[in-house]
Amino acid sequence: MQQHRTGPAWGQEEKLIPLSHTILLSAVLFAVGTVGFLVRRSAVMMLVCVEIMLNAANIAFIAFARHHLSMAGHIWVFVVITVAAGEAAIGLALIVALARERGTIQVDELRSLKG
Amino acid sequence: MDAVVLTGGRLLTLLVFMPSVAGALCALSRSSRAAAVWALLGSGVPLILGAAAVCGFDASAAGFQWVERVDWIPSLGISYHMGVDGVSWPLVLLTLLLTFLSLVYSIGRIQNATRLYYASFLWLETGLMGVFCALDMILFFVFWEWVLIPMYFIIGYWGGARRIYAALKFFLYTMLGSAFMLVALLVTAHLYHQATGAWSFDWADWVAIRDTIDPNLQLWLFSAFAFSFAIKVPAWPFHTWLPDAHTEAPTAGSVILAGVLLKMGAYGFLRFGLPLFPEGAVQAAPVMVGLGLAGILLGAAASYVQTDLKKLVAYSSVSHMGFVVLGIFSFTLEGAAGATIQMVNHGLSTGALFLMVGIIYERTHKRGVTDFGGLAKTMPLYATVSVILVLSSVGLPGLNGFVGEFLVIAGAMKARPLYAFVSALGVILAAVYLLSMVRKVFWGEANANLHGLSDLTWRETAVFLPLLLFIVVIGVYPAPFLEVSEGALKAILEGVAP
Amino acid sequence: MPTLESLPHVLPEVALAVTAAALFVLEALWQPRGRARRVGFPLLALGGLLAALLFLVASPSSAEPRFFGGLLTQDPFSTFVRGVAIVATALAVGLALGSPSLPSNRRVEYHGLLVLLALGMCLLSSAGHLLMIYVAIEIVSLTSYLLAGFDDRGGRSAEAGLKYVLFGGVASGVMLFGFSLLFGLFGDLSLSGLGQALAHSTTLSTGAGRWATLLALVFVLAGLGFKIAAVPFHMWCPDVYEGAPTPFTALLSVGPKAAGFAVLLRFGTGLWPELATDAAAATSALPWLLLLGVMSTVTMTVGNLAAIWQDNLKRLLAYSSIAHAGYMLMGVVAGGREGPGAVAVYLAVYLIMNIGAFAVVSAVDRSAHSEDIGVYHGLGRRAPLLALAMAVFLLSLTGLPPTAGFVGKLYLFASLIHHGGFWYVLLAVVGVLNSVVSLYFYARVLRAMFLESAAGEPAPVSLANSAAALAVVLAVPTLALGIFWQPLAAIANFSGSLF
Residue spans per domain, chain C = 1-265, 272-499
For the whole prediction, is pTM greater than 0.90? yes
Instruction: Give domain status of residue A26, yes or no.
Output: yes
CATH code where residue A97 lies: 1.10.287.3510
Instruction: Give domain status of residue B207, yes or no.
Output: yes
DSSP at B108: T
- Cβ partners under 8 Å of residue B316, min gap 6: B299, B300, B303, B350, B353, B393, B430, B433, B434
Answer whether B157 touches C (CB < 8 Å).
Answer: yes
Predicted pLDDT of residue B7: 67
Cis bond before residue B234 (omega within 30° of 0): yes
Written as one string, the DSSP assignment of B182-204 is HHHHHHHHHHHHHHHSS---BHH
Average pLDDT for C290-313: 94
Answer whether C435 touches B (CB < 8 Å).
Answer: yes
Average pLDDT for B365-375: 84
Q: Which residue of B has its CA nearest to C452?
A: B157
Interface contact C162-A114, CB threshold 8 A:
no
How close does chain C come to A6, measured CA to CA in Å?
A: 17
Predicted pLDDT of residue C314: 93
Whether the pLDDT of residue C459 is over 80: the answer is no
Instruction: Give domain status of residue A7, yes or no.
Output: no
Average pLDDT for C5-17: 89
Do A and C make contact via 3 or more CB pairs under 8 A? The reply is: yes
Domains held by chain A: number: 1
- Convert the pLDDT of each residue in B385-400 to its tens digit: 999 999 999 988 989 9
CA atoms within 13 A of residue B145's CA, in its CB half-sphere: 26
Q: What rounded mean pLDDT belongs to chain B? A: 91
Provide the pLDDT confidence category of residue C14 given band limits of 50, 70 and 90. very high
- Convert the pLDDT of each residue in B287-321 to its tens digit: 999 999 999 999 999 999 998 999 999 999 999 99
Average pLDDT for C66-89: 90
Provide the pLDDT confidence category of residue C115 given band limits of 50, 70 and 90. very high
Answer whether B156 touches C (CB < 8 Å).
Answer: yes
Instruction: Give domain status of residue B498, yes or no.
Output: no
**Torsion (CA) C365, C371, C374, C378 in degrees, nearest 10:** 40
* CB-CB neighbors (< 8 A) of A57 in chain C: 173, 176-177, 179-180
Considering CB atoms only, which of C406, C450, C493 is closest to B157?
Answer: C450
Instruction: Give domain status of residue A12, yes or no.
Output: no
**Domain assignment of residue B343, given as a range:** 3-493
Interface contact A79-C135, CB threshold 8 A:
yes
Find the range with the poorest average confidence among B59-73, B431-445, C270-284: C270-284
Whether the pLDDT of residue A10 is over 60: the answer is no
CA distance B137 to B384: 45
Q: For residue A8, give the H/E element and its range.
A: none
Q: Which of C185, C222, C177 is nearest to C205 (CA)?
A: C185
Q: Which residue of C has its CA nearest to A69?
A: C187
A contact test, residue of C133, C139, C147, C162 with most A CBs within 10 A? C162
Whether the pLDDT of residue A44 is over 70: the answer is yes
Angle at C83 between CA C225 and CA C475, to 5 degrees: 90
How close does chain A come to C166, measured CA to CA in Å?
A: 7
CA distance B404 to B338: 4
State percent of chain C over pLDDT 70: 96
Whether the pLDDT of residue A8 is over 50: the answer is no
> Any bridge partners for residue C67, and if so which?
C72
How close does chain B come to C199, measured CA to CA in Å?
A: 30
- Convert the pLDDT of each residue in B438-487 to its tens digit: 988 888 777 767 777 888 889 899 999 999 999 999 999 999 888 888 88
Answer whether C44 touches B (CB < 8 Å).
Answer: no
- Cβ partners under 8 Å of residue C5, min gap 6: none
CA distance B255 to B182: 28
Contact B67, B81 (CB under 8 A): yes
- Convert the pLDDT of each residue in C136-171 to its tens digit: 999 999 999 999 988 877 778 888 999 999 999 999
* CB-CB neighbors (< 8 A) of A68 in chain C: 183-184, 187
Whether the pLDDT of residue C107 is over 90: the answer is no
CA distance C493 to C407: 14
A3 Rama class: left (phi>0) / alpha (psi -120 to 50) / beta: beta
Q: For residue B68, give the H/E element and its range.
A: strand B65-73
Answer whether C418 touches B (CB < 8 Å).
Answer: yes
Predicted pLDDT of residue C284: 65
* C 154-173 residues with CB < 8 A to A: 154-156, 158-163, 165-166, 168-170, 172-173
Find the range with the poorest average confidence among B209-218, B365-374, B482-491, C189-198: B365-374
Residue C372, classed as helix, strand or coil, is strand
Do A and B make contact via 3 or more CB pairs under 8 A? The reply is: no
* CB-CB neighbors (< 8 A) of B164 in chain C: 447, 451-452
Q: Which of C268, C180, C158, C281 is nearest to C224 (CA)?
A: C268
Average pLDDT for C327-340: 90
CA atoms within 13 A of residue B262's CA, in its CB half-sphere: 40
Instruction: Give domain status of residue A5, yes or no.
Output: no
Predicted pLDDT of residue A6: 46
CA distance C264 to B418: 60
* C 277-316 residues with CB < 8 A to A: 312, 315
Answer whether C131 touches A (CB < 8 Å).
Answer: yes
How close does chain A come to C36, measured CA to CA in Å?
A: 29
Provide the pLDDT confidence category of residue C281 given band limits of 50, 70 and 90. low
Average pLDDT for C278-288: 66
Interface contact C142-A110, CB threshold 8 A:
no
Cβ-Cβ contacts under 8 Å between B and C: the total is: 76
B contact test, residue of C300, C337, C395, C417 with most B CBs within 10 A? C417
Any chains having at least 3 CB pairs less than 8 A from chain A are C
Considering CB atoms only, which of B149, B171, B186 is closest to C417?
Answer: B186
* CB-CB neighbors (< 8 A) of A37 in chain C: 166, 170
Instruction: Give domain status of residue B486, yes or no.
Output: yes
Interface contact C166-A115, CB threshold 8 A:
no
Whether the pLDDT of residue A11 is over 60: the answer is no
**Torsion (CA) B180, B185, B187, B190 in degrees, nearest 10:** -160
B contact test, residue of C377, C412, C418 with most B CBs within 10 A? C418
Provide the pLDDT confidence category of residue C335 given band limits of 50, 70 and 90. confident
Interface contact B179-C436, CB threshold 8 A:
yes
Whether the pLDDT of residue C307 is over 90: the answer is yes
Predicted pLDDT of residue A2: 46
Domains held by chain B: number: 1
Predicted pLDDT of residue B254: 94
B contact test, residue of C396, C450, C491, C495 with most B CBs within 10 A? C450
Interface contact A113-C145, CB threshold 8 A:
no
Whether the pLDDT of residue C278 is over 70: the answer is no
Higher pLDDT, B217 or C368: B217
Provide the pLDDT confidence category of residue B1 given band limits of 50, 70 and 90. very low
Angle at B56 between CA B52 and CA B62, to 5 degrees: 140
- Cβ partners under 8 Å of residue B3, min gap 6: B11, B49, B50, B52, B53, B56
**Domain assignment of residue A31, given as a range:** 18-109
- Convert the pLDDT of each residue in B110-165 to its tens digit: 888 899 999 999 999 999 999 999 999 999 999 999 999 999 999 999 988 899 99
Residue B66, classed as helix, strand or coil, is strand
Strand B78-84 and strand C66-67: pairing?
A: unpaired
Q: What rounded mean pLDDT belongs to chain A? A: 84
Answer whether C67 touches B (CB < 8 Å).
Answer: no
